[in-house]
């Protein structure tokens, strides 16, 4: 006896990455990590860890490595995405990257206030760092919660269905002539805009790189060594630089301006101790020493400035000192000045020294930064070219606009175009008519001018004559 057996369908195992929010978060992390590897890690390894010199060959090799690594990361990302990714994941990754960028910009904007308040002394810099971090985390958590919402996921699916992240053409065999003309027009407009940017040198006036400063990483670059030695802050007291009294040597750095005969790379920031050791070694060999500028933390510089102006003085007049302990322009601690001044006042007929407030050198504040777009002068036009070509091709495949272009070409196909012979005849007729009308209007205008002038109805004053030798002009 035959029995009917119900076949139980095999249960398909669902992966965690099949969920749209998880796939979006993983994709955003992968893209951000890839950008960090290509834009920061590899250049840091190449220039700082390997300490390679800045030559054309090294730059070429680094460029080849970056291109190869980028290609590998793109391939791996495409394989991880799979041939049939979750619906809406492409639009979600793009939107997530834009949301992260917005969170970074908003966090940096908030840090301007927290860092300003910390610099003014309302609270400790550590508190400002904690507040800025909390604000950034709140923005990131809020963004994550927004992407988990079903309405957001539905919007991402609709956004992806518009075709902006797909190479699939919409009705590829229809409306080809009008589509190609539209693509050509968009590319021409984008090209004109890029040409205007380059011709007017708009990108030359801004910063070299598009960067976002990292909060609380500001460092003050003081005048370079030779100029600093001529200032009050660059003097020595009791065989030790004044700078070392105010800032611990472990918190002092040096930006290399000119490497001289050293192996230090220009533009890099090294410890001041390493810089001084390198300069001392080259001085002993009679070779050219490097030139640099002291660099200290922004908040350390604030404290050093306050201490320098309140606890140190500059001798404006040394007074009558038999031992000649002071010289005009010398910078000394205020406590030492008071002791010596009291000793002088004990002797009758001695003039006491006079002190003035020393001058703290002004410096340029620089921040560690996240580079969002390096070499804007070159990379931005290249990105605009690729973006313009992609937008031109995608816009003609946007369903609503593509249907409009297809309908436009269909209407154009219904037009009965004239022949070449008829076109030449009609052109001759139009030009002849225009010439005859021009002559007719000229004749009638001349007749009416004479007639109305004869009966004194129309009176036109004559233009005053100007002396040619005077150089005067009628305008």
User: Which pLDDT tens digit goes with each residue over 166-186?
Assistant: 888 888 888 889 999 999 999
Domain boundary among 335, 366, 397: 366
* Shared domain check, 51 and 182: yes
Domain boundary among 312, 341, 366: 366
The reported pLDDT for the residue numbered 321 is 57
Asked if the model's pLDDT at residue 344 lies above 80, the reply is no
Q: Establish if 472 belongs to a structural domain.
A: no
Q: Establish if 435 belongs to a structural domain.
A: no
| Residue with more model confidence, 418 or 216 | 216
Q: Establish if 4 belongs to a structural domain.
A: no
* Shared domain check, 263 and 167: no
Domain boundary among 407, 427, 459: 407
Q: What percent of the chain has pLDDT over 70?
A: 91
* Shared domain check, 254 and 398: no
Most confident of 133-147, 401-415, 441-455: 133-147
Asked if the model's pLDDT at residue 467 lies above 80, the reply is no
* Shared domain check, 344 and 259: yes
Residue 382, domain extent: 16-200+374-407
Q: Report residue 463's pLDDT band, with 50, 70 and 90 as the boundaries.
A: low
Q: Establish if 456 belongs to a structural domain.
A: no
Asked if the model's pLDDT at residue 232 lies above 80, the reply is yes
Mean pLDDT computed over 353-376: 86
* Shared domain check, 224 and 178: no
Q: Report residue 419's pLDDT band, with 50, 70 and 90 as the boundaries.
A: confident
| Residue with more model confidence, 282 or 113 | 113
Residues 309-335 have pLDDT tens digits of 999 999 888 876 554 577 888 888 998
The reported pLDDT for the residue numbered 64 is 93
* Shared domain check, 387 and 252: no
Q: Establish if 434 belongs to a structural domain.
A: no
| Residue with more model confidence, 349 or 7 | 349
Residues 156-165 have pLDDT tens digits of 999 988 888 8
The reported pLDDT for the residue numbered 320 is 66
Name the pTM for this structure: 0.75
* Shared domain check, 108 and 54: yes
Could you tell me how far CA 38 lies from the centroid of its own chain?
Answer: 17
Q: Which residues pair with 315 in a beta bridge?
A: 355
Tokens (6 digits) for 178: 């009008």
Mean pLDDT computed over 118-136: 94
Mean pLDDT computed over 436-449: 93
Q: Establish if 228 belongs to a structural domain.
A: yes
Asked if the model's pLDDT at residue 70 lies above 90, the reply is yes
* Shared domain check, 192 and 145: yes
* Shared domain check, 261 and 335: yes
Q: Report residue 413's pLDDT band, with 50, 70 and 90 as the boundaries.
A: confident
344 neighbors 352 (Cβ within 8 angstroms)? yes
Asked if the model's pLDDT at residue 469 lies above 70, the reply is no
* Shared domain check, 57 and 183: yes
The reported pLDDT for the residue numbered 466 is 47
- Domains in the chain: how many in total? 2
Q: Establish if 295 belongs to a structural domain.
A: yes
* Shared domain check, 379 and 362: no
* Shared domain check, 169 and 42: yes
Mean pLDDT across the chain = 85
Q: Report residue 468's pLDDT band, with 50, 70 and 90 as the boundaries.
A: very low
Q: Establish if 452 belongs to a structural domain.
A: no
């Amino acid at each position: 006896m035959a029995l009917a057996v119900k076949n139980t369908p095999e249960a398909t195992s669902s992966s965690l990455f099949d969920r749209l929010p998880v796939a979006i978060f993983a994709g955003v992390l992968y893209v951000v990590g890839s950008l960090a590897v290509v834009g920061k890690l590899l250049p840091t390894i190449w220039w700082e860890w390997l300490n390679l010199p800045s030559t054309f060959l090294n730059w070429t090799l680094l460029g080849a490595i970056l291109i190869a690594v980028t290609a590998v990361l793109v391939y791996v990302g495409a394989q991880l995405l799979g041939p049939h990714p979750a619906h809406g994941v492409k639009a979600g990754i793009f939107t997530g990257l834009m949301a992260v960028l917005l969170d970074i910009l908003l966090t940096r904007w908030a840090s301007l206030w927290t860092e300003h308040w910390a610099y003014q002394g309302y609270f400790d810099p550590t508190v400002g760092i904690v507040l800025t971090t909390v604000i950034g985390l709140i923005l990131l958590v809020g963004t994550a919660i927004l992407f988990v919402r079903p309405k957001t996921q539905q919007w991402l699916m609709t956004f992806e269905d518009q075709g902006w992240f797909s190479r699939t053409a919409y009705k590829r065999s229809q409306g080809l002539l009008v589509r190609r003309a539209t693509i050509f027009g968009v590319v021409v407009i984008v090209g004109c805009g890029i040409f205007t940017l380059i011709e007017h040198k708009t990108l030359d006036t801004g910063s070299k790189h598009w960067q976002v400063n990292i909060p609380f990483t500001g460092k003050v670059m003081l005048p370079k060594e030779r100029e600093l030695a001529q200032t009050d802050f660059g003097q020595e007291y009791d065989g030790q630089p004044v700078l070392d009294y105010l800032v611990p040597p472990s918190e002092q750095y040096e930006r290399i301006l000119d490497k001289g005969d050293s192996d230090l790379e220009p533009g890099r920031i090294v410890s001041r101790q390493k810089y001084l050791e390198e300069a001392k070694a080259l001085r002993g060999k009679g070779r050219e020493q490097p030139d640099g500028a002291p660099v200290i933390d922004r908040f350390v510089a604030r404290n050093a400035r306050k201490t320098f102006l309140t606890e140190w003085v500059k001798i404006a007049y040394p007074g009558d000192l038999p031992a000649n302990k002071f010289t005009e322009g010398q910078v000394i601690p205020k406590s030492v000045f008071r002791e010596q001044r009291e000793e002088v006042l004990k002797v009758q007929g001695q003039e006491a020294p006079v002190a003035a407030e020393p001058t703290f050198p002004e410096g340029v504040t620089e921040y560690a930064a996240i580079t969002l777009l390096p070499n804007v002068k070159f990379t931005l036009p290249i990105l605009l070219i690729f973006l313009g070509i992609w937008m031109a091709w995608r816009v003609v495949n946007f369903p609503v606009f593509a249907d409009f272009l297809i309908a436009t070409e269909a209407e154009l196909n219904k037009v009965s175009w004239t022949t070449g012979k008829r076109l030449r005849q009609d052109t001759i007729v139009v030009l002849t008519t225009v010439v005859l009308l021009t002559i007719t209007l000229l004749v009638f205008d001349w007749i009416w001018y004479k007639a109305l002038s004869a009966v004194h109805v129309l009176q036109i004053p004559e233009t005053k004559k100007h002396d040619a030798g005077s150089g005067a002009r009628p305008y």
